Structure 1
């Protein structure tokens, strides 16, 4: 893994940030950038998602103020974010953070296109939760500029980012990435490359097995989560965590892990697959393993 003490580059040099994808994670990352005083351009080709983006950010700022008393003004934060539907409108960003869904064809298209519309030497950071960074690096012109920045959900409320370096990630790319994250108030935990890195290599298997336990009738969802909360001190159990992430995202991530590890344990449990097929995706729909206030 490259060290952070080589090829220094001042963060102030990087003025133009781009976020690819205007869903939950893309809006959260854009909010983090804007709250830190940076300007960000969010690329989102879907008109519905693009139109919903500003309200997502506004709600995120309000929640952060309520929980952390940050004092950020939603209008001021939104004033630093620009929304576009074409990659040629990005304005040659020096730092790109890719937040499109965890599906290989979508990731490949976004990164190849962004590579051609970013400034020379731009960092290409992916919020992938499971795809090996060196696999992503094979899609861009300079693999040394590819790095993983696995923000946790919700990004504005999580103080730590899992930063994954591929074998070809340059020291300059790592340095610029950790400096940016520090400017957002985020701690970087550096890990090596591999399917799922550390977090999702472990978490996705836990969620899948928790779903299997639930399906077998060993315990209901509340009890499964209570074991992790009360016995292990976890703030949230695996099934509630899955609902927060989104069960469709869980299934997509398991598919990536199954492909890159060859391990059949990552095959989605029948219950998990059935919930996604039924549109019960967790918090975003109000009903997943648990029902939320929205689903009542």
Structure 2
């Protein structure tokens, strides 16, 4: 399948990263969200991200933000997804929201269009069940920041076909990414482990065992991690962390996934990490 035009649904942190990465690798991108304000912010963030990346590519040919932006069509009209060869969905990690999106794009997109759910915890088989193309639904768990991460987790749903897997691998290769294919289960591999780690790190902070700085220093200094669990939580977004751990708790009915009270309190207070300027750390 020749993948030229890719639809990206949701212009949050992950959707912005996916759209930017696709545009930088020669794709025509359709970025869809519910309001012009969100799309204007996305355009501004993509410009800033490209400028930021240029600091790390001093010896390489510099990309023009305008050239990248011109490869992205920003729209609030889902109807334009009818031209997409492939769609990556990145809406909020809440099933009630995702379950409304898929029947809509299913009715608009071509029959051969593949849907990739960029989700951190919601089962792919559940997502596929609200479409009429379950064999063409796959999970692609991109990592943040998307343009700078060379590896993704690909999830095969119960009905996902081998052809769909190969199509998704082809698109990822065009984006300059490798993938690890795993079977469908809530949280998959990465977040089934990571969300537990982050949640337990928040419990350590709540129980006053250590400061956020010291928790992260232990992981970086003792284990060689580039970021500690609380720094990682701020990068991902504490609201996304909470949604994900709640999905794990709901699906497994296991108390080890019980969300920390402090995490819920911080989300209620709007302390979502880097995207709001404050989480476990303060960002200027």
What band does the TM-score fall into relative to the shorter chain?
over 0.9
Matched with 1:161 is: 152
Taking the TM superposition and a 5 Å limit, the aligned residue runs for 1:75-90 are 75-90=66-81
| Matching residue within 277, 281, 284 for 1:290 | 281
Q: Is contact 1:98–1:126 with CA below 8 Å preserved after alignment?
A: yes
- TM-fit CA distance, 1:278: 1.1
SS at match of 1:131: coil
Rounded to whole Å, the distance in 1 between the matches of 2:132 and 2:83 is 15
- TM-fit CA distance, 1:165: 0.7
Give per-residue Cα distances to partners, 1:192-214, cap 9 Å, x unaligned.
11000001000001000000011
Rounded to whole Å, the distance in 1 between the matches of 2:200 and 2:237 is 16
| Matching residue within 221, 235, 238 for 2:226 | 235
SS at match of 1:67: coil
Matched with 1:54 is: 43
SS at match of 1:97: strand
Q: Is contact 1:161–1:187 with CA below 8 Å preserved after alignment?
A: yes
Matched with 1:202 is: 193
Matched with 1:124 is: 115
Rounded to whole Å, the distance in 1 between the matches of 2:122 and 2:57 is 32
Aligned-residue CA RMSD (Å) = 1.1
Q: Is contact 1:60–1:156 with CA below 8 Å preserved after alignment?
A: no
Q: 282-291 vs 18-27, which deviates more? A: 282-291
Instruction: Detail structure 1 runs of 4+ shifted over 4 Å in the superposition.
Output: none
Which 5+ residue runs of structure 2 have no aligned equivalent?
none
- TM-fit CA distance, 1:230: 0.7
Give the TM-score taking structure 2 as reference length: 0.96
Q: Is contact 2:3–2:171 with CA below 8 Å preserved after alignment?
A: no
Give the TM-score taking structure 1 as reference length: 0.93
Q: Is contact 1:92–1:117 with CA below 8 Å preserved after alignment?
A: no
Matched with 1:272 is: 263
Taking the TM superposition and a 5 Å limit, the aligned residue runs for 1:158-197 are 158-197=149-188
- TM-fit CA distance, 1:104: 0.4
Give per-residue Cα distances to partners, 1:13-47, cap 9 Å, x unaligned.
22221000011111110001100010000111123
Q: Flag the structure with more relative contact order, 1 or 2, with Cα contacts below 8 A and sequence separation at least 6.
A: 1
Taking the TM superposition and a 5 Å limit, the aligned residue runs for 1:66-145 are 66-69=55-58, 71-145=62-136
Rounded to whole Å, the distance in 2 between the matches of 1:18 and 1:140 is 17
